Amino acid sequence: MLKFRKASYEPGVVEFGNGSFAYLQPDGGWGFSNSGLVTDGKDALLVDTMFDVPHTRAMLESFARASDARIGMLVNTHRNGDHCYGNGCLDCEIIATARAAEEMKHETPRGIARLMKEAPGMGLLGEYFIHCFQDFDFDDTNFRAPDTTFTGTLTRHVGSKRVDLIEVGPAHTGGDALIHVPADRTVFTGDMLFIEGTPIMWNGPVGNWIKACEQIEAMDVETIVPGHGPVTDKNGVRRVREYLTYIRDEAKKRYDGGMGAFEAARSIALDDYAGWCDAERIAVNTATLYREFGSKDTPSDVGTLFGWMAQIWKDKK
């Protein structure tokens, strides 16, 4: 039995009554991502797999109880493992943006499995890794890479339902995509939206991410399924856009004033967003913004950035 954390919403399948479904994993923090299912008659398209095989199997079993449609296509919204490491549980076509597929080659489950084994001897950084990823099993992850890639927009059909795959990255990662189902007035946003959790910007530019939020806000949709957190509406999108605008402006003031990126990350007040989990991601966001502003000495390597997050996490504990 999988364990989920306490949150404002329940784990499992949400049915929207139009043939679209979401599968939610509270609390939406590190690794606890969402999946989507678009069905028409006997046909189905799956949006994202989970971080490991047990969580992916639980998701597939839950969807199978909710719908007897057969999954003929899987779309990965982006490269992060919590959206694609379970790909090996499916034998259908897998689709992602070309950028996401390229990035998946460099972020394999083997790396994180090794890291988790070494974590107990790694001091604060190891303690933080364990805090983030202890609920997952990376040992028997049977990863499958995408078979089909696209740039820009790709349209597919599920039964007679049109599904638009829309590239909006680079933003959260290098190759982010939205999955829009016009007939269901539903969009699956991947990690363009974290709801009740702190967005993390590995790649930027921030302008692309803000533009993606505006694009979602302009869609004729009523159901918005984020990559992490509960199902939301356009107010949820606006809040994410406001967070990104706020941290961009606060980081810029500090950059212009000559403050270093880590000090800047520690000094940005997150009062309006205090209820969102994983607030320490401000460290990655500030570093990414600093590099975008032109900083040459702000680190981009994941190890250093996790170290920064670990320190902020420890200070807040």
**Sites of contact with Zn ion (CB under 5 A):** 33, 80, 82, 191, 227
Q: Which is nearer to Zn ion, 167 or 191 (CB)?
A: 191
Provide the minimum distance between the beta carbon of 178 and Zn ion in the complex, in angstroms, as a whole number: 14
Provide the minimum distance between the beta carbon of 254 and Zn ion in the complex, in angstroms, as a whole number: 27
Q: Which is nearer to Zn ion, 131 or 162 (CB)?
A: 131
Residue for token pair 């590099």? 291
Length of the chain: 317
**Residue 200: partners with Cβ closer than 8 Å, 6 or more residues away:** 172, 191, 194, 278, 281, 284, 285
Provide the minimum distance between the beta carbon of 82 and Zn ion in the complex, in angstroms, as a whole number: 4
Q: Which helix (H) or strand (E) holds 153?
A: strand 153-158
Provide the minimum distance between the beta carbon of 274 and Zn ion in the complex, in angstroms, as a whole number: 21
Q: Which is nearer to Zn ion, 67 or 80 (CB)?
A: 80
Which residue, 175, 46, 169, 19, is CA-closest to 107?
175
Provide the minimum distance between the beta carbon of 278 and Zn ion in the complex, in angstroms, as a whole number: 11
Provide the minimum distance between the beta carbon of 143 and Zn ion in the complex, in angstroms, as a whole number: 16
Q: In the Cβ-directed half-sphere of 74, how many Cα atoms lie within 13 Å? A: 24
Interhelix angle 282-293/206-217, nearest 10 degrees = 110
Q: Which helix (H) or strand (E) holds 166?
A: strand 161-167
Q: Which is nearer to Zn ion, 30 or 128 (CB)?
A: 30
Q: For 264, left (φ over 0), alpha (ψ -120 to 50), or beta?
A: alpha
CA dist 10 and 154 (Å) reads 32
Q: Which is nearer to Zn ion, 82 or 176 (CB)?
A: 82
Q: Which is nearer to Zn ion, 262 or 313 (CB)?
A: 313
CA dist 209 and 232 (Å) reads 17
